[in-house]
């Protein structure tokens, strides 16, 4: 399914100009009290490029500047109004903002949709007014908005400048992400705090970021996907436009679900459904802000490798071995090179070098630092591998003297040129990740990491992304209403209507019906108690019943044991040579009806059983284990 790639890219989109590139802004609730958002945002707003009106009816000045008592009192239209007043004043402030010409409103105020039924009603009323006025609302219960490309500073904190578009339902998570981005010389193009997503949702913001020139990739922290199908569609289009979405979400555990509900009143989707959505949309799911930054560095700097065979290029036997092992645990394979490639590499290196893959340059770095670029040339031009993982000490040779320092930076440039000239990709790990040579690599578009854990993990993710492509998002009809009756025979008939063959079966409620069924069906048969999901664990399924007498005996046992509302008598299916599949349907609160298809029978159960037999594995871990099997490969 690659419908995605043939779909016209971003046919029509809300670029949310009033939110990100307003001509004039106002802060309602501007304050001198340094414990209040109205203060923090005012301080930031005054650092921005747009004219700012500080609104406070009770104070003539705030931060030493004259205030206005209301937005309407400004006397000219204000494109964007930030509302940072207590919940009780929220509606009136929005009314005033709309009356003052606001096209976009940022709701900092908390205690609304996330705080119970009254707050939800108030929030819905305000959203209706905003939409009627043709405006849009970010939040409420959010931390603001920022656009470094337009000079807009309306968030409680500043962020480093760069080309990552950040959309977050948690302010602290965005702040932490920024600290990790800085490690990689990355920064933020735009930041939007989602809050309650009462009007604008993550999908809207992804659409706007996808057409934003200053944004190269999108970082999304989201607890509630709202219209999940629309989000998937928006993320697909962003990926197709070359702006991949990296998603950090929650819901892997009861604990995080409990917490997300109380944090933003979120409807949390199943992790399995989110994983499927990511595969369909070409979104990359991560599990921490650090992973997010690590992956973003590579997505914005390097091309995807072709395949999972990699060269490991290291200085030092230890780094060569450890990097090879780590690569293998990340779906990569350091295949042994052909004799002729080994010869070509050996010609560039000292005689003690290892050249079979991994490559250990041994003392090559000290003797002739340019050997790294020459070896890399061989690795980028061979079809034996699709990428190079470099590991060790590069960037540290400069410490041995000025001449070597200069040569090392030159080597970094040569390496970048080699990569640019050919089709392979290169990911570098070095303990000297903050050296002049490492900085030069980054500037030239080579991702550089401090640890082999993240470098190998990132390269594995890139390789999987390259191998997989996006599943694509098919056009889907709106979901039908759920069935009122989902009993066994209802499901069976539905599947039969869909063309799935079933052995003959009859529902029976008493012995007379049972005998009549026995006469109609071909023995051996199976008898199943209905009305209990775990019937087979409780003696509710009897297989291979040879004749009517045994059938009646089995029926009496089941009735004694379980007193089921009814039973099903079915001809035994011949399972020789078949593949058992598990097919399930669930209705996700945000993604709607989803189908689970997997290997059935023993395969569905054994992983869990093995896990439980071997030790105290949680259900979450068992689930994650199953997911991890799926994760790297479509």
Taking a C-beta distance cutoff of 8 angstroms, is the pair 224, 267 a contact?
A: yes
For residues 55 and 69, what is the distance between their CA atoms, to the nearest angstrom? 6
* Paired strand residues for 596: 584
Q: Which is nearer to a second copy, 20 or 397 (CB)?
A: 397
Question: Phi/psi of residue 567, each to 5°?
Answer: -130, 165
Q: Which is nearer to a second copy, 305 or 358 (CB)?
A: 358
Q: Which is nearer to a second copy, 89 or 632 (CB)?
A: 632
| Contact window for a second copy (CB under 8 A) among 11-19, 123-131, 276-284, 626-634 | 626-634
CA distances from 318 to 144, 167, 322, 379, 425 (A): 48, 40, 6, 21, 23
Residues 387-416 touching a second copy, rule: CB under 8 A, are 392-393, 400-401
Query: Binding residues for a second copy, how many (CB under 8 A)?
Result: 96
Cα 27 versus chain centre, distance: 33
Residues 305-334 touching a second copy, rule: CB under 8 A, are 308, 312, 315-322, 324-329, 331, 333-334
For residues 115 and 140, what is the distance between their CA atoms, to the nearest angstrom? 12
Taking a C-beta distance cutoff of 8 angstroms, is the pair 374, 295 a contact?
A: no
Can you tell me which of 6, 34, 58, 576 binds a second copy, judged by CB under 8 A? 34
**Residue 453 near a second copy by CB under 8 A:** yes
CB of 279 to a second copy, least distance (A): 12
**SS3 of 346-362:** HCCCCCCCECCCCEECC
Tokens of 544: 């291979």
**Residue 451 near a second copy by CB under 8 A:** yes
CA distances from 338 to 334, 377, 379 (A): 12, 16, 12
Q: Which is nearer to a second copy, 305 or 354 (CB)?
A: 354
Taking a C-beta distance cutoff of 8 angstroms, is the pair 74, 178 a contact?
A: no
Q: Which is nearer to a second copy, 272 or 567 (CB)?
A: 272
Taking a C-beta distance cutoff of 8 angstroms, is the pair 168, 245 a contact?
A: no
Taking a C-beta distance cutoff of 8 angstroms, is the pair 444, 413 a contact?
A: yes
Residues 142-181 touching a second copy, rule: CB under 8 A, are 168-173, 175-176, 179-180
Q: Which is nearer to a second copy, 87 or 473 (CB)?
A: 87
**Residue 621 near a second copy by CB under 8 A:** yes
Dihedral over Cα of 153, 159, 161, 164: its sign: negative
Residues 2-31 touching a second copy, rule: CB under 8 A, are none
Residues 286-305 touching a second copy, rule: CB under 8 A, are 287-291
Can you tell me which of 33, 118, 254, 547 binds a second copy, judged by CB under 8 A? 254
For residues 607 and 478, what is the distance between their CA atoms, to the nearest angstrom? 35
Q: Which is nearer to a second copy, 214 or 364 (CB)?
A: 364
Taking a C-beta distance cutoff of 8 angstroms, is the pair 595, 578 a contact?
A: no
Q: Which is nearer to a second copy, 22 or 358 (CB)?
A: 358
CA atoms within 13 A on the CB side of 305: 30
Binding mask 332-371 for a second copy (x = CB under 8 A): -xxxx---------------x-x-xxx-x-----x-----
Can you tell me which of 135, 248, 313, 470 binds a second copy, judged by CB under 8 A? 248
**Residue 606 near a second copy by CB under 8 A:** yes
Q: Which is nearer to a second copy, 67 or 256 (CB)?
A: 256
Dihedral over Cα of 556, 562, 568, 569: its sign: negative
Tokens of 387: 């990428």
CB of 560 to a second copy, least distance (A): 24
Q: Which is nearer to a second copy, 6 or 576 (CB)?
A: 576
Can you tell me which of 267, 431, 541, 559 binds a second copy, judged by CB under 8 A? 431
Can you tell me which of 23, 129, 263, 370 binds a second copy, judged by CB under 8 A? 263
**Residue 252 near a second copy by CB under 8 A:** yes
| Contact window for a second copy (CB under 8 A) among 260-268, 378-386, 413-421, 538-546 | 260-268
What is the C-alpha R_g of the chain? 31
Q: Which DSSP letter does residue 309 get? A: B
For residues 401 and 271, what is the distance between their CA atoms, to the nearest angstrom? 53
Q: Which is nearer to a second copy, 479 or 601 (CB)?
A: 601
Cα 128 versus chain centre, distance: 31
**Residue 607 near a second copy by CB under 8 A:** yes
CA atoms within 13 A on the CB side of 128: 6
**Residue 599 near a second copy by CB under 8 A:** yes
Q: Which is nearer to a second copy, 230 or 263 (CB)?
A: 263
| Contact window for a second copy (CB under 8 A) among 127-135, 484-492, 583-591, 624-632 | 624-632
Q: Which is nearer to a second copy, 179 or 338 (CB)?
A: 179
Residue given tokens 């340059």 in the structure block: 361
- Please name the residue ranges forming H helices in 241-370: 254-264, 271-281, 289-301, 317-328, 339-346, 364-367
Residues 174-213 touching a second copy, rule: CB under 8 A, are 175-176, 179-180
CB of 10 to a second copy, least distance (A): 29
CB of 472 to a second copy, least distance (A): 18
Residues 108-147 touching a second copy, rule: CB under 8 A, are 110
For residues 8 and 175, what is the distance between their CA atoms, to the nearest angstrom? 35
């Amino acid at each position: 399914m690659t419908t995605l790639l043939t779909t016209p890219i971003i046919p029509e989109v809300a670029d949310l100009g009033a939110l990100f590139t307003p001509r004039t802004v106002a802060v309602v609730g501007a304050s001198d009290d340094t414990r209040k958002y109205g203060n923090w945002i005012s301080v930031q707003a005054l650092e921005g490029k747009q004219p700012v009106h500080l609104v406070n009816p009770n104070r003539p000045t705030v931060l030493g500047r004259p205030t206005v008592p209301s937005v309407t009192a400004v006397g000219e239209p204000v494109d964007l109004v930030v509302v940072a007043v207590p919940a009780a004043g929220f509606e009136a402030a929005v009314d005033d903002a709309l009356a003052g010409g606001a096209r976009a409103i940022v709701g900092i105020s908390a205690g609304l949709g996330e705080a119970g039924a009254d707050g939800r009603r108030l929030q819905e009323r305000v959203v209706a007014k905003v939409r009627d006025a043709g405006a849009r609302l970010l939040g409420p219960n959010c931390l603001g908005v920022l656009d470094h490309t337009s000079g807009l500073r309306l968030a409680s904190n500043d962020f480093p400048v760069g080309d990552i578009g950040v959309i977050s339902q948690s302010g602290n998570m965005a702040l932490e992400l920024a600290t990790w981005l800085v490690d990689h010389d990355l920064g933020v193009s735009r930041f939007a705090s989602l809050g309650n997503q009462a009007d604008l949702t993550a999908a809207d913001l992804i659409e706007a970021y996808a057409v934003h020139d200053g944004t190269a990739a999108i970082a999304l922290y989201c607890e509630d996907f709202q219209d999940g199908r629309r989000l998937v569609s928006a993320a697909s289009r962003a990926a197709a436009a070359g702006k991949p979405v990296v998603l950090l979400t929650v819901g892997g555990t009861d604990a995080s679900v409990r917490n997300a509900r109380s944090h933003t009143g979120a409807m949390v989707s199943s992790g399995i459904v989110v994983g499927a959505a990511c595969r369909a949309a070409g979104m990359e799911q991560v599990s921490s802000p650090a992973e997010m930054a690590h992956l973003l560095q590579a997505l914005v700097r390097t091309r995807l490798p072709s395949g999972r065979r990699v060269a490991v290029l290291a200085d030092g036997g230890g780094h060569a071995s450890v990097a090879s092992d780590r690569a293998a645990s990340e779906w990569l394979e350091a295949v042994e090179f052909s004799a002729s490639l080994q010869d070509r590499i050996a010609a560039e290196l000292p005689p003690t070098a290892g050249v079979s893959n991994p490559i250990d340059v041994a003392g090559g770095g000290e003797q002739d630092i340019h050997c790294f670029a020459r070896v890399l040339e061989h690795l980028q031009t061979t079809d034996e591998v699709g990428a190079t993982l470099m590991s060790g000490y590069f960037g540290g040779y400069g410490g041995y003297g000025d001449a070597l320092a200069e040569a090392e930076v030159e080597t970094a440039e040569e390496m970048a040129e080699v990569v640019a000239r050919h089709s392979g990709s290169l990911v570098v790990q070095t303990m000297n990740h903050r050296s002049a040579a490492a900085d030069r690599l980054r500037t030239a578009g080579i991702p550089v990491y401090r640890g082999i854990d993240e470098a190998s993990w990132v390269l594995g993710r890139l390789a999987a992304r390259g191998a997989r492509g996006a599943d694509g998002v098919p056009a889907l009809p709106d979901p039908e209403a759920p069935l009122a009756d989902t009993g066994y025979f209802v499901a069976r008939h539905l599947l039969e209507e869909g063309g799935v063959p079933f052995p003959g079966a009859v529902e029976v409620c008493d012995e007379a019906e049972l005998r009549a069924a026995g006469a109609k069906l071909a023995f051996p048969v199976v008898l199943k108690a209905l009305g209990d999901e775990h019937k087979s664990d409780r003696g509710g399924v009897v297989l291979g019943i040879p004749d009517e007498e045994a059938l009646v005996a089995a029926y009496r046992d089941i009735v004694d044991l379980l007193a089921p509302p009814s039973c099903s008598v079915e001809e035994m299916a011949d399972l020789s040579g078949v593949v058992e599949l598990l097919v399930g349907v669930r209705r996700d609160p945000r993604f709607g009806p989803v189908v689970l298809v997997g290997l059935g029978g023993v395969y569905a159960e054994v992983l869990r059983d093995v896990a439980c037999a071997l030790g105290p594995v949680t259900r979450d871990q068992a689930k994650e284990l199953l997911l991890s099997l799926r994760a790297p490969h479509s």
